[in-house]
Structures are given as C-alpha cells and as structure tokens.
Structure 1
Amino acid sequence: RRFSRPASRTPTRTRTSDETMVDTKRFEGKVVVITGSSRGIGKATALSFAKEGASVVLAARGADALAAVKSEIESLGAKAHTVVTDVSSEADNKKMVEEAKAAFGGEIHAAFLCAGAITMGAIVDTAEEQVDHIVGVNIKSVIFGLKYLVPAMKAGGSIIVCSSTMGSTGRASCAGLGLYSASKSMVDMLVKYAAVEAAPTVRINGISPGVFSTDMTTAMNPDELTKSTNLIPRPGNPDEIGHLVKYLASDESAYVTGSNMVIDAGWALKA
C-alpha cells in the first residue's frame, strides 16, 4: 500500500542528546546510587536521573566537587545526598550503602558503578603503585559495591557497571593500555557471575563505552581520534551514556540481566 506525503512538511533537524528522550518523571520516588559522580560520565548520568525525578546518592572522593553536583541537582527540583567515598575501600562501600539507605527511607532501587581510573605505559615498565591503583578503583570498587548493594535491594533493583570496549578488544593502536584493559576484562566477568548470583531479584548489567568527551580523555584528543576510529566519526557525549543507564535501570529492561551493552559508535568493529 502506498501512502501519500503531506503537502507541506516542517524540515527535520538533528536533535541534541538531551532531546532524544521524552521528558518524563519515570524515576520519581526512586533512589539511585552513582559512584564517580563528581565529574564526567557519572556526573552527567546523575543529572540525567535527577531530571526524571530520581533522588540521587552521589559518591566520589572530592567533597567540594560532590557538593557542586548536589547543588545542580537541587536546582532541578530533585534531591541528592553526598557520600565522600574511596571506592577501593570495602569499609567506604559499606558506608556508602548505609548512608544511601538512611538518606532516603531505607530503599535503593538502582545503582551505577561508574568510578574508574586509567593508566598508560608498557607492561614491562609498570610500577606496583599503578597496579594497586587500577585494581583498587576499577576492580575492588565493583566487588565491594556489589557486595553491599545487592543485599540492600531486597525488594528488587538494577545495578549497572561501567566497563569499556577495551575490556574485550585489543588493538595495536592502543598499546600502553594493557593494565587498564585487563582490569575491564575482569569487570566484564564480575558482571556475569554477579548477575547469576543476584537473580532473579536484582538485575546486573555492564556497559562498555568507547571514546567519550570527558576530562579523562582530553589528552587523547577525542575529536580528532574518533574521525578515524569510529563508524560515527565523533566522540560520545556523556549524557548519551546516561540514556542507556536509565534504560537498564528502568522496568523497560526488565528482561535484561547479565549483559554487556556496547556504546562505542562502532569503534570495536574497526579494531
């Protein structure tokens, strides 16, 4: 069947990232914990949840930066609570969850474990301090975050863990990222086994970003880099990750667990 076109039509335009999702309050009454939320992807995701009505628990090391994000969230009419947290510490992860429960009525509905660190250099030149830092921020943070968040979600919930395309894709052009990539490979496996253990009450999924415009990637010149590495030749915007995280945190993804969703503009396909 053929359909006639309307006589006149308003020209379409490319929507900004903030416009790609309908403005709703689907997280109203929900409590979301986000680590690494003082900057970059974590901050953008925290603001994105707040715009949809969530009460957000912000966890990171910098008290001043956390306070600034909290003020931004409150200016949106949403609620926020800050917890100064060393994510590599088991005690701090326990404290983070306890404070989150106390701040907003005892329930946690979703969490985004976004804290991460990156180091570059040849494996033969790696110092013990670098190993300890990467293991602490990228691996222990996930282990201990899951350890205390899963039991806190007795009524059900969703946990999203930030990994990286580097956890599953090695490429010669990224030499020097061996330690970082290895840590993200372990994160991928932690997500799978944690999802098995937490089912069916709590869903656990990973996301694997490619190159995004954040303070962590500034030195890589992401605008120039992605012209040759991505099928979509630009770096990602942090709020684009926020949209994916919100999907995985919502009931719209109720049948999704144990997955790792790649958001890299086709970067891995060009490896």
Structure 2
Amino acid sequence: MVNRLANKVAIVTGGISGIGKAIAQDFLAEGATVVVTGRREAVGKQVAAELSQQGEVLYLKQDVSEETDWQKVVDTTLATFGHWDILVNNAGIGGANKLIADTSLDEWQQVMDINLTGTFIGVREALNRMDKGSIVNVSSVLGIITPMPGVGSYAASKAGTRLLTKAAAVEAVKTGKQIRVNSIHPGLVGTDIVSDDLKNALQASDDVIPAIGEPADVAKAVTYLASDESSYTTGSEIVLDGGTLAGRQ
C-alpha cells in the first residue's frame, strides 16, 4: 500500500539507524514527511541525505533525555511544516548488560534517562502540542518478560514505557484529546543495540525464537499504528517476537 500517511508529519527519535531508520523509510514510502533525530550529527546528516531520495526528510540533532532538545525539535518541526501528526519514541540504549547487583547508579540512571524519561518527555510534548495524531512508543518483549539475568535496567525501562503508554492513552481519552497512544514490543531484532552476548543468551533459552527479526518487520507495525487504519486502537500493545511469548510455559 502507499500514501497511508500522506499529508502527515512524523518525528522519529533514534531515526538514523536500526529500527528507527526502517520506520522512517516505511513512513516516507507511505507519503509522510519525516523528521529523524539522533545524537550522532554526521551520521544523521548522511542518513537524511540518503532518505531524501524517497521523500521529504529533515534531520535534527537530539538527546532525548534533554528537555530543551525536545522543545527545539518540536518548535523546528512546527515552524518548518506547520503541523505535527505522529511521534515515534524509538531512541534507546541497551544498558550495561550486568546483573542488578553489579549495576552502578550511573549505569542505571543512563538507561532510565534515555529509554524512559526521554519517552515521557516526548509523550508530554505530543499531548500538549499535537492537535490530533498518533504516538507510538517502542518498548520491548523484555518489558513484559525477563527470561535471563543481566537485563534488569533495560527491562525496567521498557516495562515503564509499556505502562506509561497505557496511562497516556487513558488520559488522552479522558481529556478529550484526539491522540492515540500505543506501544510495540519487538523481540530479538538484528540491530546494533542487541549485543552478541544477548543474542546468544536468547537463542540458548527455552523461548521460541525461530529467527532474528528484521527492522522492517517492526516498521510495518508502527506504520499501521501511525495511520488512520488504527483509529480505534489506543492503549494497546503489539508484540513482534517470532512466537517468544506464545511459546513460554
């Protein structure tokens, strides 16, 4: 399908690599104008130049844990394009891959600042500054289950994202805002955020993981939630995990 996102303006955080880049590509293919953000300016400009062959795209440097960066991104988006319809809170880090007992406060806080607080600020900005639209928060299957040690901070941040999504969806409905808020929960996807140790641990576990997913698999689900096709969907979660949850005892 094409043009499901025609005339819509989207902000995709962490949109310069991995799942975020795949989401931006799919959005452009469906007719959206896309603002991609990320901390690596050189990479961001290069990716924006590449993606501009598909449609209108703008790169803005952003640290999602910084409130002032969010304000600049939203201000620039509105000033440039006149409206804002879609937010994808995708930016995130994987954590220190340590046992909770060995995790420092700084390591814990860094994960929370980017994965959870960054998502909170984005959701708050969208609820206050979108006229109507869709917010999609990228959580993880590890926000629902924790099948191995060493993912404590990451899992906690993604579980927080899951419930933040539901709380925001309820508040939007109760306050009469025409904004839907949903989350997606990928399983093992082949991106830089997934370390070799984590891949090996997951593939050696008892969970059903027939194959490592691709970023494009996730992007298609995000496009559905961003489009008007999902107009009756809010406060929901889509799990994309190759059967991991279904295969648990």
Give the TM-score taking structure 1 as reference length: 0.85
User: Aligned match of 1:112 in 76, 88, 105?
Assistant: 88
- In structure 2, the partner of 1:262 is 239
Give how far 1:185 is off. Answer: 1.1
8 Å Cα contact 2:94/2:194 also seen in 1? no
Count of matched residue pairs? 244
Alignment partner of 1:99: what SS? helix
Give how far 1:266 is off. Answer: 1.1
Pairs within 5 Å for 1:165-204: 165-171=141-147, 174-199=148-173, 200-204=177-181
- In structure 2, the partner of 1:12 is none
| Separation in structure 2 between the aligned mates of residue 52 and residue 232 of structure 1, nearest angstrom | 30
**One-letter code of the match for 1:134?**
V
Larger Rg: 1
- In structure 1, the partner of 2:129 is 152
Pairs within 5 Å for 1:60-99: 60-76=38-54, 78-99=55-76
8 Å Cα contact 1:223/1:234 also seen in 2? no
Determine what percentage of the aligned residue pairs are the same residue: 35
- In structure 1, the partner of 2:12 is 34
Is 1:253 aligned to 2:230, yes or no? Answer: yes
Residues 185/48 of structure 1: CA separation in 2 closer, same or farther (3 Å cut): same
User: Aligned match of 1:45 in 4, 8, 23?
Assistant: 23
Give how far 1:220 is off. Answer: 3.8
| Separation in structure 1 between the aligned mates of residue 108 and residue 145 of structure 2, nearest angstrom | 20
| Separation in structure 1 between the aligned mates of residue 62 and residue 52 of structure 2, nearest angstrom | 21
Residues 180/202 of structure 1: CA separation in 2 closer, same or farther (3 Å cut): same
Residues 252/203 of structure 1: CA separation in 2 closer, same or farther (3 Å cut): same
User: Aligned match of 1:212 in 168, 189, 195?
Assistant: 189
Give the stretch that moved more between structures: 238-247 or 125-134.
Answer: 125-134
| Separation in structure 2 between the aligned mates of residue 221 and residue 137 of structure 1, nearest angstrom | 20
**One-letter code of the match for 1:114?**
N
Give the stretch that moved more between structures: 193-202 or 29-38.
Answer: 193-202
Give how far 1:28 is off. Answer: 2.1
Is 1:126 aligned to 2:103, yes or no? Answer: yes
| Separation in structure 2 between the aligned mates of residue 39 and residue 89 of structure 1, nearest angstrom | 20
8 Å Cα contact 2:28/2:56 also seen in 1? yes
- The answer for unaligned runs of 5 or more in structure 1 is 1-21
Note the aligned Cα RMSD (angstroms).
1.8
Residues 49/230 of structure 1: CA separation in 2 closer, same or farther (3 Å cut): farther
Give how far 1:226 is off. Answer: 4.3
Pairs within 5 Å for 1:215-230: 215-220=192-197, 222=199, 225-226=202-203
8 Å Cα contact 1:89/1:140 also seen in 2? no
Q: Deviations over 1:113-152 (max 9, x none)?
A: 0011112101111112101211111111111101111222
Give how far 1:181 is off. Answer: 0.7
Give the TM-score taking structure 2 as reference length: 0.92
